Structure 1
C-alpha cells in the first residue's frame, strides 16, 4: 500500500549488503591491484543508508532513490568492497518506476551509469575497460526494462478493475432505474384502479349496496396485488430473496379482469415464449394504457390486440372514449406515455399514442422479436 513503511525488506537488504560486503572484502583485500579499503564504521553506515531509505520508498520514492544512489556512490568513492551494495539502488529504481516517477528513475539511472563510467575509468588504481561499462549498462537497462513491464502490467490491471467497477455501478444504476419504473407502473395502475372503484363504491353505497360490495372486493384485490408486486420488485434488493413471477403477457387475463373495464382481447399469429424483457415490457405497456383509460375515460370499452409476427410483436390498445364516469382528477398527468416509449425504445422498438379521429385513444407499440425465418444453424 502506498505510503506504508515496509520493515521486512530493508532488514533483509541490510543483512545482505553488510554480510555480502564483508565476504567480498576478504577476497578483494587480498588482491592488491584492486586497491580496496577495509570496511570501517563509515563503510557500515553507508551500507545501511540504502536499506533505511528503501524503507520509505513507497511514501517518498524519489527521495529514497536519491539517497540510495548518493550513498552508493559515496561507498564506492571510499573504495570499499565492490559487491552487493548495488541491491538498494536496484530496488529504489524499480519502486520509482512502478510508482509512476519514470522520469526521475531514468534520469537517476543515467546519472548513476555516468558515475560508474567515470569511477571505473579514472578513479580506481586499475581502470576497467569497455566490457565493464557495457555489462553495467546492460544490468541497469535490464532493471529498468523489468520495472517498466511491471508498471505497465499493474496499470492495465488497475484499469481493468476500474472499468469493472464502473460497469458494476452502471449496471446497478440501470437496475435501480428499472426497479423505479416497475414501481411507478405498479403503483400508478393499482392506485388509479383503487381510486375509481372507491368512487364507484361511494356512489352506489346507498342506492345499490350489492354493486358497492363488488367495487370494494375489487379494491381489496387490487391492494393485495399491488403489495405482492411491490414485494416482488423490492425483493431484488436483497440477495437470495425469493422472487415473485415476472409480470408478462401470460397474465393479461388477470390484468384486464382487475381493471374493471369492459375489455376485449384478441391474439393473432404464432404465440410463442418471449424474452423476459420483451414479455415484461409488453405487459407494462398494456397496463399503463389501461391505467390511462381508467384515469381519463373510466368505464370506456377497451380493445387489446396482440399480434405475433415473425420479427416483431405488435400491441394495440384502443378505447372508445365513451367513459361511464368523468375523468379522475387529482392523480396528476404522470409519465405514462413517455415511460411506455422508453420501454419500447430500450428494446429497439417503437410506440405511438394519440387520440383517434372518431373519438377515444389509441396506443400502438411494436417490439422486435427473433427472426423465425432465419436458419437456426
Structure 2
C-alpha cells in the first residue's frame, strides 16, 4: 500500500494489527478450550501436543505484530506452515463446534494478509475438512457441506475487503497528517517572513540609508582616503546584507506557496529579466510534498544555465505527473547547445547540485543536444527526498 497512490506504504501491516491480534486471540482461546475438552475425554497428551503445535502461530504474531508483522505477512513459509497446522487442529477438533470457530478465525486471518486469489486457494483444505466433518449419510449433509464451503469462501472475501478498507483508512490518515504538517510548515514560514520583514529587514533598510548618509558626510568632510574607503565598504556590506535578507524573505514566502504558483512566478521573473520568452506547461498534483523544493531549485538552476551559456531565443518548460505519481521536468532551449558529460564534477557545482537533488528523490537527469540546435534537459523526481539529504545548491 502507499501513503499516496504512487508511494509504497511500508507499514500497511499496522493498519490491520488490531484485527490480526483479535483473530489470533480467538484462535488461542479455541486451542485452550480444546485442551480442556481433551483433558475431560482423557486425551491430555494429545491436547497438549496440539496446543504446543498451534499456539505459536497465534501467540507470536499477536505479541509482536507491530515490529514484525510485515515479515509474517510476506513469508510464504510461515503461511504454508500455518495452513498445515490449521488443518491438523481442525481434524483434531472434528465433530466439535470449536472447529467451525477456529476455521472462521483462521480464514479471516489469512484473507487479511494475502490477496483474494491466494486466500481462496488456502481456503480449499479448510473447506474439505468442513465437508468431511458432516455425515454423508444425512440427506442434508452435502447441502450443509457445500454451504460451509461457500461460507468459508465468502468469509475470505469479506476478510480481504476488511483488510483493504483498513489499509485505505490508514493511508488516508497518513495523507491527512502530511497535509496538516505541510500547512503548519507553510504557516510558520509565513509568520517568520512577516516577523523578519517587520524587524530585521526594516532595521537593515534604515541602516542602509544611515550608512549612505554617513558615507556622503565623510566624503564631504575631506577626511583621508582610507576612512572614505572604509565607509564605502561598510555601506556596501550593509546593502548586500539587506538584499540577501529580502531574498531570503522571498524564498520563505515562496516555500509556503503552491509549487505551480512558484514555478509560474519564477518563469515570469526570469523572462522579464532576460527578455527571453518562456513557454510554460504545468501538470502538477494538487498537493505539494518534499520533492517540490528540489524541483523549484533544479528549474531555477537550469534557467540560469540557459541565461549564462545558451544564447537562446526561446525556452520551453514542461512539468508533468507520471502514472505512478513521479514528476517529470523538461527544459528545452533553441540556443547554441550545451552537452554535459556524465563525469562532469570539478568546477560544475550547479550541475552537481542538480544531480544530487534529483538523485535524492530517486530520479535521474540527462542533457541532450538537439540536432537543430539547443539543449533539452530531462529530470525526474520519483519519491520523497531522503531524510539524510544534505542541502545543496
Scaled by the length of structure 2, the TM-score of the pair is 0.42
**When you count helix as a share of all residues, which structure comes out higher?**
2
Scaled by the length of structure 1, the TM-score of the pair is 0.43
Q: Which has the larger radius of gyration?
A: 1
